[in-house]
Structure 1
Amino acid sequence: MTMSTAQGFEPPPGPEEESVCRVCGYDEELFWEGGWPTNAICPCCGNESDIKDLSVMGIRDYRGYWVGHGAQWNSPPLKPKDWDLLKQIANIPPEWR
């Protein structure tokens, strides 16, 4: 048992900082900060960073649903003119693919 657990505090569940969406690879938003999800909504795929993002299967399910429905942008005005889905998905960290 760690000191923080002994005192009733749980350690943060995630990375100290993460700016890449685990679902689509979008990389212009802070999705995790201080080990906790920021609840930021990805303007690309619409995923909200939260504790559910700790499950690789959950991430893969959402990604499959999003891509299967045409990989539509959640915030179309922010979509780059030269956007390339495959290049963006390559940004996803290996542990979340």
Structure 2
Amino acid sequence: MHKNNCRVCGYELAYPPWGDDGEDPSWEICPCCGTEFGYEDCTPVSAKRKREQWIAAGCPWFDRKKKSLDWDLKRQCEHIPEVFK
């Protein structure tokens, strides 16, 4: 159900950024889009707004070392939790 994926960009993390219950943010930063979990992705509207800003800026990676050589924005965005698309 994509509970380990960023609500903004779909990046798959090793942990659920909103906890196992989906309600307790980790306050960590997404290594891909730079979203602070619990601040910029609290609602579907705020997650969509952050995504639009990130894409308009050219999809810069927050931690460039984590970007895979075959990274594909469209493929990654397929993993955004449905309610946040």
Shared fold (TM-score, shorter chain, > 0.5): yes
| 2:32 aligned residue | 44
- Paired with 1:73 and 1:87, the residues of 2 have a C-alpha distance of 16
Report the RMSD for the aligned CA atoms in angstroms: 1.7
What secondary structure, in the 3-state scheme, does the structure 2 residue paired with 1:32 have?
coil
Higher relative contact order (CA 8 A, sep 6+): 2
1:33 aligns with 2:19: yes
> Residues 10 and 78 of structure 2 are in contact (CA less than 8 Å); yes or no, is this contact kept in structure 1?
yes
> Residues 29 and 40 of structure 1 are in contact (CA less than 8 Å); yes or no, is this contact kept in structure 2?
no
1:22 aligns with 2:7: yes
Structure with more of its chain in strand, by fraction: 1
1:84 aligns with 2:78: no
Q: Which ranges of structure 1 fall in alignment gaps of 5 or more residues?
A: 1-16
Q: Which has the larger radius of gyration?
A: 1
Tell me: CA distance 1:52–1:45, structure 2 relative to 1, closer, same or farther (3 Å): closer
- Paired with 2:80 and 2:68, the residues of 1 have a C-alpha distance of 18
Counterpart amino acid of residue 81 in structure 1: L
Q: TM-score, normalised by structure 1?
A: 0.76
Deviations 1:30-75 (A, max 9, x none): 2011430011110000001115523111111000000000001000
> Residues 35 and 41 of structure 2 are in contact (CA less than 8 Å); yes or no, is this contact kept in structure 1?
no
Aligned residues: 81
Identity, in percent, stands at 35
